[in-house]
Amino acid sequence: MSKKGNTMSRIGKQPITLPEEVKIEIKNNQSIIKGPKGSITRDLRPEIEVKIQDQQILVSIDPNQKKAKAFQGLFRTLIANDIKGVTEGWEKTLEMAGVGYRAKMDEENVILEVGFSQPVVMKTEEGIDFKVEGKTKITVSGIRKDQVGEVAARIRAIRPPEPYKGKGIHYLGEVIRRKEGKKAGVAGA
pLDDT, tens digit (0-9, with 9 covering 90-100), for 91-118: 999 999 989 999 999 988 899 999 999 9
| Average pLDDT of the residues in 118-142 | 92
pLDDT of residue 34: 94
Distance CA 102, CA 137 (A): 8
Domain total of the chain:
2
- 80 and 99 fall within a common domain: no
pLDDT of residue 4: 52
- 44 and 102 fall within a common domain: no
Q: How many CB atoms lie within 10 A of CB 106?
A: 9
Tell me: pLDDT of 126 over 60: yes
At 170, the pLDDT band (50, 70, 90 cuts) reads very high
- 31 and 43 fall within a common domain: yes
pLDDT of residue 177: 84
Mean pLDDT of the chain: 87
pTM recorded for the entire structure: 0.82
Compare 183 and 119 and report the one with higher pLDDT: 119
Query: Which of the 8 DSSP states describes residue 144?
Result: -
- 167 and 103 fall within a common domain: yes
Query: Which of the 8 DSSP states describes residue 115?
Result: S
Least confident of 14-23, 59-68, 157-166: 59-68
pLDDT of residue 2: 47
Q: How many CB atoms lie within 10 A of CB 124?
A: 14
pLDDT one-digit tens code per residue, 2-31:
455 454 458 888 889 989 999 999 888 899
Q: Which domain holds residue 117?
A: 90-171
Q: Note whether residue 54 is domain-resident.
A: yes
